[in-house]
Structure 1
Amino acid sequence: MSLLDAYEAALQHDPIYRSALHENEAGQQAEIIGRASLLPSLTVTHAQNKNSGTLDTGTGTQPLNFDGQVSTLTLRQPLFNLEAIAGYQQGKARADSSRAKFLGHGQQLLVRVVEAYVETLLAQDRVRIAETELAALEELKRVNERMLQKGEGTTTDVLETQSKHALAQAKIIEAKDELEIAQLKLEALIGQKITQLVRLDDTFSSHTIQNPDGYDTWQALALEQNAELVTQRHNVVSGKEEIKKNHAGHLPRVDLVASLQKNKRGSFVTQGLDAEFGTIGIEVNMPIYSGGRVNALTTQAVANHARAEAELDAATDKVLVELRKQYNLRTLHGQSQFQVRLMI
């Protein structure tokens, strides 16, 4: 299995990435759900009933017993609804937030696969080194024992070699444990048992990030493109639209309403008669008092928006601190580019 094979397998199996994939799929529906409130709705209702009563004719009463059917087709189109408009904008922000968050998970997966792959290769090398060292000490141990038997060696040399041999055996056990843990970590990512990994070529390296302008350019890129910061900025926008949506609970809603009704002996007025009615008009709903619910929801939304802004500030500080750390490591020691790429 090569590094690319491992990454492709992780895309299909890794539980964290699959969870993020489905979370993004669900998040993309937020925009569609919000837009639906601005589009017309069409409903059909049908009722069948049995009616009984009496009619006072002035000279007496007569029974009224009949079966009725009423079918209604209703079309409603919002004309003025600030709550729906804010809900649509909020849905767009949530969809964008899910998209940015998913992008961040994809970048994190790449880093986790590379780290697990390289750690496994390194653990394999440590096992081979430990086995080679043990084999060398076993040979040295036999040489020292033969020399001691011939009177050319010393007991101290034999004991010292035996001590080193015991330590080498312990190192092999430790190295094999580390290899097993590294393999389990990689297997958990890719969902397959590892039999053999392709060794990285001696010339393997990540492409160097070209940055002629120094740290300031990286900082600007991180602030603009970092997946965590982009996600949090969309959350701030979503919180702002939530304020507008809740505040709109004080405002009127205007709808265009059209209906077509077919009444088959469906009421006492039309009993014994079939009738069809068509209506079209404007409906205005004006909220007056809701027990303080609208004010409470608006205040809650304001607080949540302020929290989202504070979380954005905290995330920005965290990213910039880590970016400075990775930049300094790269400048001083030529560290890998993966973490820096994840920042920007």
Structure 2
Amino acid sequence: MLRRLSLTLAVAAASAGMAWAEQAPLSTKTNLVTVYQEAANNNADLAAARADYQARREVVPQARSGLLPNLSAGANMSDTRTDVDTSNGSQSISRSGTVYQASLSQPLFRADRWFQLQAAEDSSEQAALELSAIEQSLILQSAESYFAVLRAQDTLASTKAEEAAFKRQLDQANERFDVGLSDKTDVLEAQAGFDTARANRIIAQRQVEDAFQALITLTNREYVALEGIKHSLPILAPTPNDAKAWVDTAAAQNLNLQASNYAVSAAEETLRQRKAGHAPTLDAVASYQRGDNDSLGFTNSGASPTTFSSDAEQRSIGLQLNIPLYSGGLTSSQVREAYQRLTQSEQLRESLRRQVVQSTRNLHRAVNTDVETVQARKQSIISNQSALEATEIGYQVGTRNIVDVLDSQRQLYSSVRTYNDARYDYILNNLRLKQAAGTLSPADLEALEQYLKSDYDPDKDFLPPDLAEAAEAQLRGTLDY
């Protein structure tokens, strides 16, 4: 009987022979939504962004304060001694006492402060949208980190299966060499292939650990295992499958683009504020003082500086008009600066708009390409599986050599890895497209939940379950032909 190496047998051998791949109990597996929730609760970058938003929104009450009354109160205690030379000799006059005072100022016309308030409100809206963009970005980061682990696990599973296949080929080469059916070259070629596969498996193991570490950094939580994605996940074109519709949605809903609109509005209001520096200001002012009359400076109408014997009060109310005439060119310079800042914000918005359009169109094309790529990669596995089994048959009957077999094995497992990469690229590019359009939400992660497999075992599930049958059917059709 011919001894053909099938991918299914290689996977079974890898699962049985590699003790380090034991999966944790099912109860310890974590799903995608849970990872996102942990990230939302524990991510340090998001916490910093929220604190930054809370700080930036304080510019509104700070700017509003410039239009509200300003009330202050205070007290002054003094003891003054004055020596006066007179014709009768030196005379000392002492003045002491306490004065209590209060002042009130109410802006009546302050155009610069009004425009400053408008700019502050726009800046606050910009900060809110930028925070929303960071929160939305965390959805994508959670998915990227989650599927990076699954991708690394599937890669490890394929490299373990490849190592088992090369080990089987090495054993077969040794057996053939022992009975004189092949020379030492076949054994050396098989040994080289096995050593390379073993090195790749070691690297893949480290990549799994690195991926888990990235997930821990994102969420500040330890994970033992994750639920994997089913191969039954529908691979469909984006809806609607119209790039212009996605671009129009992005232009209206992209959060960073909306934030840039408020940045331009804030710059416009700041320019108005600077121009208002040339305008006059008008305030209503009132003051009140009470204290010893000598402390207030009251004296009788005579020449003697003697004071009244009782306390005194002083009240005043009026309007204060200020007309700026010249401030050394400060106001004009600030106007020129604000104009350039406005130009800068407009150009940054235009640059961002172009980037959003480019990203949206590219991601729309990427998703459509991924749809075809996943199917093509899956068919590639089937074809390479059939080619490998046909090459092994040729090797058994002497029409192929060991190098042909090893090359077929490498191509087979390479096609397995590119297939899984295409699957994860499709999922992530879909989420990236929605983020670019401004529609990404936690509901998109929840929609993926139904395609997660709680008992996912990478060593068994990194391949579609129907591949072995499809490869056998293709091989039979080729041989019959």
Q: Do they superpose with TM above 0.5?
A: yes
Q: Deviation at 1:218?
A: 2.2
Q: Deviation at 1:117?
A: 1.0
Q: Deviation at 1:7?
A: 1.6
Aligned match of 2:357: 320
Q: Deviation at 1:20?
A: 1.6
What is the letter of the counterpart of residue 327 of structure 2? S
Aligned residue for 1:194, secondary structure, equals: coil
Aligned match of 2:340: 303
What is the letter of the counterpart of residue 258 of structure 2? V
C-alpha separation between the residues in 2 aligned to 1:236 and 1:222?
18
Q: Deviation at 1:99?
A: 0.7
Maintained 8 Å contact 1:38/1:85: yes
Aligned match of 2:434: 341
Tell whether 2:138 aligns with 1:109: yes
C-alpha separation between the residues in 2 aligned to 1:20 and 1:307?
24
Tell whether 2:178 aligns with 1:141: no
Aligned match of 1:263: 291
C-alpha separation between the residues in 2 aligned to 1:63 and 1:80?
49
Maintained 8 Å contact 1:206/1:337: no
Q: 1:267-321 CA deviation, whole Å, 9 max, x = no partner?
A: 3326553112232222112212110100011111111111111111111111111
Maintained 8 Å contact 2:237/2:368: no
What is the letter of the counterpart of residue 320 of structure 1? V
Aligned residue for 1:291, secondary structure, equals: coil
Q: 1:216-240 CA deviation, whole Å, 9 max, x = no partner?
A: 3322221122112111111111111
Q: Deviation at 1:33?
A: 1.2
Gaps of 5+ in 1: none
Q: 1:129-164 CA deviation, whole Å, 9 max, x = no partner?
A: 212222233234334323433445553443332122
What is the letter of the counterpart of residue 249 of structure 1? G
C-alpha separation between the residues in 1 aligned to 2:280 and 2:105?
16
Q: Deviation at 1:54?
A: 5.0
Residue 288 (structure 1) aligned to one of 325, 330, 343: 325
Aligned match of 2:5: none
- Map 1:42-191 onto structure 2 (within 5 A): 42-53=71-82, 62-152=91-181, 154-191=183-220
What is the letter of the counterpart of residue 294 of structure 1? T
Q: Deviation at 1:62?
A: 4.2
Q: 1:310-341 CA deviation, whole Å, 9 max, x = no partner?
A: 11111111111111111222334344421111
Aligned match of 1:215: 243
What is the letter of the counterpart of residue 298 of structure 1? V
C-alpha separation between the residues in 2 aligned to 1:130 and 1:324?
35
Q: Judging changes above 3 Å, is the alpha-carbon distance between structure 1 residues 44 and 305 closer, same or farther for their aligned structure 2 residues?
A: same
Q: Deviation at 1:119?
A: 0.9
171-180 or 29-38, which deviates more: 171-180
Maintained 8 Å contact 1:51/1:68: no
What is the letter of the counterpart of residue 47 of structure 1? N
What is the letter of the counterpart of residue 291 of structure 2? N
C-alpha separation between the residues in 1 aligned to 2:288 and 2:238?
66
Residue 22 (structure 1) aligned to one of 51, 58, 76: 51
Q: Judging changes above 3 Å, is the alpha-carbon distance between structure 1 residues 209 and 65 closer, same or farther for their aligned structure 2 residues?
A: farther
Aligned residue for 1:68, secondary structure, equals: strand
C-alpha separation between the residues in 1 aligned to 2:292 and 2:134?
60
C-alpha separation between the residues in 2 aligned to 1:15 and 1:66?
63
- Of all paired residues, the percent bearing the same amino acid is 24
Q: Judging changes above 3 Å, is the alpha-carbon distance between structure 1 residues 53 and 207 closer, same or farther for their aligned structure 2 residues?
A: farther
Aligned match of 1:38: 67
Larger radius of gyration: 2
Tell whether 2:281 aligns with 1:253: yes
Q: Judging changes above 3 Å, is the alpha-carbon distance between structure 1 residues 275 and 298 closer, same or farther for their aligned structure 2 residues?
A: same
Q: 1:8-36 CA deviation, whole Å, 9 max, x = no partner?
A: 22223333322221211111111111111
Q: Judging changes above 3 Å, is the alpha-carbon distance between structure 1 residues 341 and 135 closer, same or farther for their aligned structure 2 residues?
A: same
How high is the TM-score relative to the length of structure 2? 0.66
Maintained 8 Å contact 1:207/1:337: no
Tell whether 2:37 aligns with 1:8: yes
What is the letter of the counterpart of residue 55 of structure 2? A
Q: Deviation at 1:207?
A: 10
Maintained 8 Å contact 1:101/1:227: yes
Q: Deviation at 1:184?
A: 2.5
